[in-house]
Amino acid sequence: MYQRILVPIDGSATSERGLAEAIAIARVSGGSIRLLHVLDDLVFTTGFEAGATYTNTVLPQLRQHSEQILAAGRERAAAAGVSADTLCVECFARRPAEVIVEQASAWPADVIVLGTHGRRGVTRLMLGSDAEQVLRMAPVPVLLVRSVQDSGGVAASPAPAAATAPRPMAG
C-alpha cells in the first residue's frame, strides 16, 4: 500500500480532483500526503516588468498565493482525517515536472497522484504536458486523475485514469 503520497497542486479544479483521489488512497492505506506547489514564477514574467518591481511586488504575491493553495489543501486533508504536510518549491528555468520528479525522490514518495487535463493533439503540442513528463521521468508509480471534460454538455466519468503501466485488454 502507498504510505507516502506526493500530490502536486496548483489550486485548479484538476489538481483538486487529484487531491481528492490522494486523500481517498491515504484513508484506505493509512498513509500520509505531501502537498507540493511548484511556484513556476517565470510563467508570470513577460519581460516588461522592471526587475525590482518583479522582485518586490509580483514574487511576494505569488508566494502568498502558493501558501494559500497549500493551506487549503492541508485543511481539506485534515477534514478527511489524513495527515498532510506542505512544500512550496520555486522553479527558475526548469519545468514543474522536473521539480515534481526531484521531490518524489528526495522525500521519498511511494506514489505521485497528479490531476491532468488530458490534452491531446495541437493543444498538447502547444502547451506541453507536465503530467506526461512526470509520467516519463518518475522514479515511482504515477496515478493520473483526469479532469471532468465537457463533451456536448455531458460531463465525462469522474473516474481516475491510472497511468503506471499499460493494462491488458479485457477479452
List phi, psi (to 5°) of 90: -80, 135
Residue 103 confidence (pLDDT) above 90: yes
Res. 19: pLDDT tops 80: yes
CB 4 within 8 A of CB 110: yes
Per-residue burial over 30-61, b = 16 or more CB atoms within 10 Å of its CB, e = otherwise? ebebbbbbbbbbeeeeeeeeeeeebeeeebee
For the stretch 111-156, pLDDT in tens is 999 998 765 554 444 445 788 889 999 999 999 998 765 333 334 4
Among 16-20, 41-45, 57-61, 111-115, the minimum mean pLDDT is found in 41-45
pLDDT at residue number 45 = 53
- Domains in the chain: ranges and CATH: 4-162 (3.40.50.620)
Q: What is the band of 18 on the pLDDT scale with cuts at 50, 70, 90?
A: very high
Amino acid 153: pLDDT: 39
The pLDDT score that the predictor gives to residue 129 is 76
